[in-house]
Amino acid sequence: MQLLKDRIRKDGKVKEGNVLKVDSFLNHQMDIALFREMGKEFKRRFAGEEINKILTIEASGIGIACVAAEQFDVPVVFAKKTQTKNIAGDVYTTQVESFTHGRVYDIIVSREFLGKGDKVLLIDDFLANGKALEGLAALVEMSGAELVGAGIAIEKGFQVGGDAIRARGIHLESLAIVESMDEKTGEIVFREQ
């Protein structure tokens, strides 16, 4: 998606440790007009697919997912992160290891809001090692819902997540795929799509 790639080039910052800082427009301060265009692009990429629910994960997936959901006219559910297994109530839960924070945590979704009959599109801001997306896919499977696909804003194509998710047969659409980043020069190379 050209608009997103241009914005990453203009406002994204390459940091050490393969971190792409896009917090001025994507995941701390959020450009809602950009999210709207991203939502339209997700709708185009999944045109013809029957989707009746969007599932994302707190916190930086939520804004994108909600604005995108307006294009699909469906509810949004967000998986909650917790570091304690002390979870009350009927939930689906699985463990995720965070690339950004190097931490293991549990994610949960209430059984009330995910189940048979749901045709789910996963949405998140970043795809790096794919652990968060795999966790969301696991919740969908546990619940008996159908996984239609996954929409990602920025995929780091040089990390394993994209390949792993696609290898599982999941319809993955990333609006921008970063092929390489150079911390010294600040250069960002995108994969042609």
Question: Applying CB under 8 A, does 104 fall inside the site for a second copy?
Answer: no
Q: Amino acid letter at 97?
A: E
CB 107 within 8 A of CB 136: yes
With CB under 8 A as the contact rule, which of the stretches 31-39, 127-135, 138-146, 172-180 interacts with a second copy?
31-39
Binding residue count for a second copy, defined by CB under 8 A: 31
Question: Applying CB under 8 A, does 69 fall inside the site for a second copy?
Answer: yes
* Tokens 């304690």 -> residue: 84
Question: Applying CB under 8 A, does 59 fall inside the site for a second copy?
Answer: yes
Give exposure, 54-81, as e/b (b: 16+ Cβ within 10 Å): bbbbeebbbbbbbbbbebbebebbbbbb
- By beta-carbon proximity to a second copy, the closer residue of 63 and 146 is 63
Closest approach of a second copy to the CB of residue 163, in Å: 29
CA separation (Å) from 27 to 35, 44, 95, 114? Answer: 11, 23, 22, 25
Question: Applying CB under 8 A, does 13 fall inside the site for a second copy?
Answer: no
Question: Applying CB under 8 A, does 160 fall inside the site for a second copy?
Answer: no
Question: Applying CB under 8 A, does 82 fall inside the site for a second copy?
Answer: no
d(CA 140, CA 117): 11
With CB under 8 A as the contact rule, which of the stretches 2-10, 109-117, 123-131, 160-168 interacts with a second copy?
109-117
Closest approach of a second copy to the CB of residue 100, in Å: 12
d(CA 151, CA 96): 19
CA angle 130, 41, 97 (to 5 degrees): 15
Closest approach of a second copy to the CB of residue 179, in Å: 27
Question: Applying CB under 8 A, does 80 fall inside the site for a second copy?
Answer: yes
Report strand pairing: 146-156 vs 119-127: parallel
Binding site for a second copy (CB under 8 A): 23-25, 28-33, 35-36, 58-59, 62-63, 65-67, 69-70, 73-78, 80, 109-110, 112-113
